[in-house]
Structure 1
Amino acid sequence: MTAPGPGTVRPGGRTARIRDAVRRATLAELAESGHQGLTVEGVAARSGVHRTTVYRRWGSADGLIADALDLASGEPWPLPDTGTLAGDLQTITRLVLSGFTDPGQGPLTRAFVLAAAQSPGTAAALRAFLTRRHEQATVIVKRAIERGEVPAGTDGTEVVRIAVAPLYYRLFVSGEPLDEPTADRAAAAACAAARAGAL
C-alpha cells in the first residue's frame, strides 16, 4: 500500500475528500460482499474515484481495508465513566456487543474480523486498530486504581482485553449465542480478576 506522502493531505482538500470517498465505498463494499468480494474496481466504481487512482494509492483490497482501519483507529471511542470499574467494563462489553449485533453496523464489524483471518495484511491492520482501542480504554482502569478499586500496576489493556475476549470467542469460534447477559458476565469476570490482583 502506498500512502500519501507527508504534506499531501489537507483537511478538506482534494486528497482528504478522495480518501473519505474511498473509505466510505470500502466500508459499504465490505459490509455487502465481505473480504472475498471486495475489489479495487468495486470500490472505484462506488466511490467515483478513478480505478487507476485507487490502485496507485491503495494497491489492493487489503490496502483499502488497512486504510479504513487506520482512519478508524484515530477516532475517539465513547468511553464510559460510571464511577466504578464494574460499570465501565459492563458498558464497554455492551458497546462491543452492539457493534457485532446491530443490523446496520454488525455485518461490517464482523467482516473486518473475518477478513483478518484470511489476510496477514488485514490482520496486522486490525491488530493495530484494536491496540489503539485498548490503549484508549486504559483510562477506566487508571481511574479504578485512583479510587482504590484495583491494585496499583494493574494492566489496563489486559483488563479490557479479557472483558471483550469472550464475545469474540462466542461469535467467531464456538458459535454460541451472543447476548447482553453474556456481555455482562464477561465484564464481571474481568473486574473480579482485576480486583483480585490477577492482572
Structure 2
Amino acid sequence: MEPNETERPHTGRRRNEATHRAILDAALRLLAESAGAPVTIDAIARAAGVGKQTVYRWWPSKGAVLLEALTDRSALEVPQPDSGSLRTDLRAIISSTFAGAQHSSTASALRTLVREAAQDPHLAELLQTFTAQRRASVREVLERGQQRGELPADADLDLMIDQFYGVFWYRFILGHGPLDRETAERLADSILP
C-alpha cells in the first residue's frame, strides 16, 4: 500500500448498532403481541427490517436473541443501586425487578422462555445464564451490605437470593399474588435480619 493510501474501514460482520437495537426491540415486541404463539427468526427479521441471515450472523438461535433482549431490557429497568443502605438498595432492586417483569413485552418473553426451555436444552441453558446474571446483580448488593456490616459475615447470601427469586418466579409464573412495590418492600424486609 502506498504511504498516502488509507485503509478502507471494515464493513463486514461488525454489528450496526441501530440494526442490533431494531432486532432486539422487534423480538420483544413480537413476543408481547404473540399471545403465546411461537415467534420465529423469520418474523423477528421481518419486523426489524433485516434479512434472516443478519439475525443468524449475530445470534445462533431465537433463544439467544430473546436472552440478549431480556438482558438488555433488565439492565435498563433494574438498576444496580448503591445508596449506602442495604435495605434501600434491596428494596429498589426487588421493586424494579417486579415492575420490569410486568411490562407486556418482558412478561411475554419471560413466559415464552420458561415454556420453551422445558422442551429445548439450549434454551434452558440460556435461561440459566440469564438467571445467573440477575442473581449476580443481587449478590453484589448483598455483598456491599455485608462489607458495610449490615449483614453478618456468615450470612447465607445464596439463600437470601433464593428467597427473592423464589417469590418472584412463583408469583410471576402462577400469578397467585401481586408483584407490586408493597410486596417488594415486605419481601426485602423479610429477607434482611
TM range (shorter): 0.7 to 0.9
- Which position in structure 2 is the counterpart of 1:29? 30
- Which position in structure 1 is the counterpart of 2:184? 183
Return the alpha-carbon distance in structure 2 between the equivalents of residues 104 and 26 of structure 1: 9
Aligned residues of 1:115 and 1:122 also touching (Cα < 8 A): yes
Aligned residues of 1:135 and 1:157 also touching (Cα < 8 A): no
Runs of 5+ consecutive residues of structure 1 not aligned to the other structure: 1-9, 193-199
Residue 162 (1) aligns with residue 159 (2): no
Q: For this pair of structures, how many residues does the alignment match?
A: 181
- What per-residue deviation string (whole Å, max 9, x for no partner) do you get for residues 110-136 of structure 1? 444444345332221121122122223
**Residues 100 and 74 of structure 1: CA distance in aligned 2, closer, same or farther (over 3 Å):** closer
Return the alpha-carbon distance in structure 1 between the equivalents of residues 150 and 41 of structure 2: 50
- Which position in structure 2 is the counterpart of 1:148? 149
Aligned residues of 1:31 and 1:111 also touching (Cα < 8 A): no
- Which position in structure 1 is the counterpart of 2:72? 72
- What per-residue deviation string (whole Å, max 9, x for no partner) do you get for residues 51-102 of structure 1? 2443565454334324545x63995751222333222211111111101224
- Which position in structure 1 is the counterpart of 2:135? 134
Aligned residues of 2:32 and 2:104 also touching (Cα < 8 A): no
Higher CA-based Rg: 2
- Which position in structure 2 is the counterpart of 1:54? 55
Give TM-score scaled by structure 1 length: 0.71
**53-62 vs 89-98, which moves further:** 53-62
Residue 16 (1) aligns with residue 15 (2): yes
Runs of 5+ consecutive residues of structure 2 not aligned to the other structure: 1-9
- Which position in structure 2 is the counterpart of 1:101? 102
Aligned residues of 2:36 and 2:108 also touching (Cα < 8 A): no
Identity %: 31
1:26 aligns to what SS in structure 2? helix
- Which position in structure 2 is the counterpart of 1:87? 88
Matched letter for residue 148 of structure 2:
R
- Which position in structure 2 is the counterpart of 1:197? none
**Residues 52 and 35 of structure 1: CA distance in aligned 2, closer, same or farther (over 3 Å):** farther
Give TM-score scaled by structure 2 length: 0.73
